[in-house]
Amino acid sequence: MEPNPFLGVFLHAVGGLAAGSFYLPFKKVKGWSWEVYWIIGGVFSWIVTPMVVAYSLNPRLFEIIANAPSRALLGTFGFGVLWGIGGLTFGLTVRYLGLSLGYALALGLCAAFGTLIPPLADGTLPGLFRDASGLTILSGVGICLFGIALSGRAGMVKEKELTDEEKAETIQEFNFAKGVWVAIFCGIMSACMAFAFQAGKPIA
């Protein structure tokens, strides 16, 4: 496939729109516990839809998987499980912090850790400080972390201003401290997607 930056940006925008709005239907769900509607959404988001789309783009999908090296399959599956744990804890972050603050912290940390952990693991992180492209990436991470700090500060102010009754009314299980720790764990686990892609290269 030939590189197509414009198509890449378009698909990234579509993905961003989908990722930024997927939680909204959950707010309309009544009478179900968080675990129930999250697992149903997860099955369709992470298993059914990817399989349908992949098969529609490549009807030889299952043949390719069957003939793939076992090491590549196990590595992809293992890191995929860790990434899935990150997705689960992302939902918990939104559960404890609400949609706006939860998104800002969880996705910001996912972006930061996802950018820094892979080059740190393979020893290429120092190289990012030596060229313009690497410095641009690190500057973006710095801006991202600054935004996370502002969002965290806003969350602390919000927690102090709201009474317990108001917290329960706005977000049923609002817990800023727990939400921040879960967001950090979510960010670290979500970085495993990059390792899954690396492990799955022989399959491609």
Residue 52 has pLDDT above 90, yes or no: yes
Confidence bin at 1 (pLDDT 50/70/90): low
Residue 115: both structure tokens together: 């950018």
Residue 55 has pLDDT above 90, yes or no: yes
- pLDDT tens digit sequence for 29-49: 778 877 788 888 888 888 899
**What separation, in Å, do the N-terminal and C-terminal C-alpha atoms of the chain show?**
12
- DSSP code for 44: I
**Amino acid 187: pLDDT:** 84
pLDDT per residue as tens digits for the range 57-71: 899 999 999 999 999
pLDDT tier at 159, thresholds 50, 70, 90: low
pLDDT score at 93: 85
CA distance 31 to 12: 34
The closest of 69, 31, 25 to 44, measured between CA atoms, is 25
Q: What are phi and psi of 32, to 5 degrees?
A: -110, 145
Q: How far is CA 60 from the centre of its chain?
A: 28
pLDDT digits (tens, 9 = 90+) for 68-127: 999 999 999 999 999 888 888 888 888 888 777 777 788 788 888 888 888 887 788 888
pLDDT tens across 160-184, in order?
Answer: 776 666 655 656 677 778 888 998 8
Q: CA–CA separation, 87 vs 79, rounded Å? A: 12
Reported pTM: 0.71
- SS3 of 115, please? helix
Measured on CA atoms in the order 149, 154, 159, 160, is the torsion positive or negative? Answer: positive
Report which DSSP code applies to 48: I
Mean pLDDT confidence for 140-154: 82
CA distances from 56 to 1, 16, 75, 202 (A): 17, 22, 25, 21
